Structure 1
Amino acid sequence: MAPWYAVQVFTGQEDKAVGLIGQTLTISGEENLVDEVFVPKRKTLTKQQGELVEGETALFPGYIMVVTSKVERLSALLGKVPAFTRLLGTDGMFTPLAEGEVAWICAFTQRKHRTVEMSEGFVEGGRVVVASGPLVGREALIKKVNRRKREATLELFIMGRTVEVKVGLSLVKKKQ
C-alpha cells in the first residue's frame, strides 16, 4: 500500500481543494499519480427547527489526505493547484502518516467512503457503553462526551502531534 500524506488546506475549503487537485491531475494527465485523495469526515446529527438532521463535517479541519508513492511529483503538482495546498513534512522532507495513524482512519472508515459513522450508546453506572457504530468496543478512546451536540471527543497522536478529534455519538437512553 502506498504511503498516506497530509495536505494542509484552508479550513472549510477541504472539499473544494480535493476537487481542484482532481482537476489539476486530469489537466496534467497525471490521474494515476495518486491512489486516493479525500477529506476524512464524520457524520453529525443536529437539531434544526425541532427535527434531527444528519450532516457531515471534516474530521481534521484544514487537512486532506493523499495516498501516493510519488510524493515528489505530488509536491510539484500541488504548486499548480489554484488554492492553498501544503504537503506536511519536517526538515524539508515530506512525512507520511505512521502506520498506526493510517490504521486508525481505516478502522473507522472504508475506501471510497472515508466518513466515520454515528455511534449510539447509553450511560450505565456512570460510564459510556457504545451499542452500535464504529466506537463499539473502543469506549476507552473516549475522553469527553457532549450529549447536547451528540459527539464524543477522542484524543489521538496523529500528524506528529496530539489532536482532539470529535466523532458522532448519540446517547439514546440512560440506564441507572
Structure 2
Amino acid sequence: MWYVIQTQTGGEEKLVELIEKMIPKEHYDECFCMNRECVRKMEKGYEIFLRPLFPAYIFVVTENPEKLFFELKRVPKLTKLLSDQEDTFFSVSEDEETFLKNVQNENHVVQRSLVEVDDKGTIIKANGAVGVYMNRIVRQRLRKRYVCVEQEFMGEKRKIYLGIKLEEEDV
C-alpha cells in the first residue's frame, strides 16, 4: 500500500535520499516524491523545470507501516508518517492511488499534457493527465501553461496543478 510521509517543504528529495540510504529496503518497496513539469517563458522560448506535486509530502510503498514507522525515527530529519491518534497509519485510498498512477510516469513525474483549444480559449481536447481528468478542471491558465483539477486526496478535496503545452509550442 501507498503511505504518505510529511516533511518540510523543499526537503522532499533530500528526505527520499536519506530514507533510501538509512532504512533497509526490506521495510519498503519504493520511496519517492512526485514532481510536475512546469514552464516559464524565457527570451528564447520556454524553460521546463520540476516542482513537487504535493509540497512537503513524499510517498512510500510498504506492506508493514508499523516497522517503517520505527525505522523512520532513525532518520535525522523532521518526518512524520501520517496517522491518527490511535496509530492507524493513513494509506492512500484506492481511488487516490489510481489518480496518482494515472497522472505520473515511471519516474514519478507528471508531464505536461498537449492540449487543443478553440478560438474562445476553451480546452476541447487533451492528452495525458489533463485528458484523463478534463472533467475535473476547475481553472485554466493557458498563458501560464497550467490547469487546476480538483481531486480528493488525504480525506479532503484539493486543487492539483497540471502543466499543459499548446500545439504551436516547440518545447
Give TM-score scaled by structure 1 length. Answer: 0.87
Match of 2:85 among 91, 99, 112: 91
| Cα contact 1:130–1:137 (8 A) shared by 2 | no
The answer for the alignment partner of 1:34 in structure 2 is: 28
Match of 1:134 among 125, 129, 133: 129
The answer for the alignment partner of 1:123 in structure 2 is: 117
| Cα distance in structure 2, aligned partners of 1:86 and 1:130 | 40
Matched, 1:161 2:156: yes
Name the structure with the higher strand share. 1
Q: Tell me how large the CA RMSD over aligned residues is.
A: 1.6
| Cα distance in structure 2, aligned partners of 1:128 and 1:49 | 26
The answer for the alignment partner of 2:11 in structure 1 is: 13
| Cα distance in structure 2, aligned partners of 1:70 and 1:138 | 32
Secondary structure of 2:63's partner? Answer: coil
- Aligned 1:96-115 pairs, distance under 5 A: 96-111=91-106, 113-115=107-109
Identity of aligned residues (%): 29
Structure 2 gap segments, 5+ residues each: none
CA offset at residue 163 of structure 1?
1.1
How far does the alpha carbon of each residue in 1:28-73 deviate from its partner, in whole angstroms, 9 at most, with x for none?
xx21211110001111121234431111110001100000011011
Q: Which amino acid aligns with 1:87?
A: L
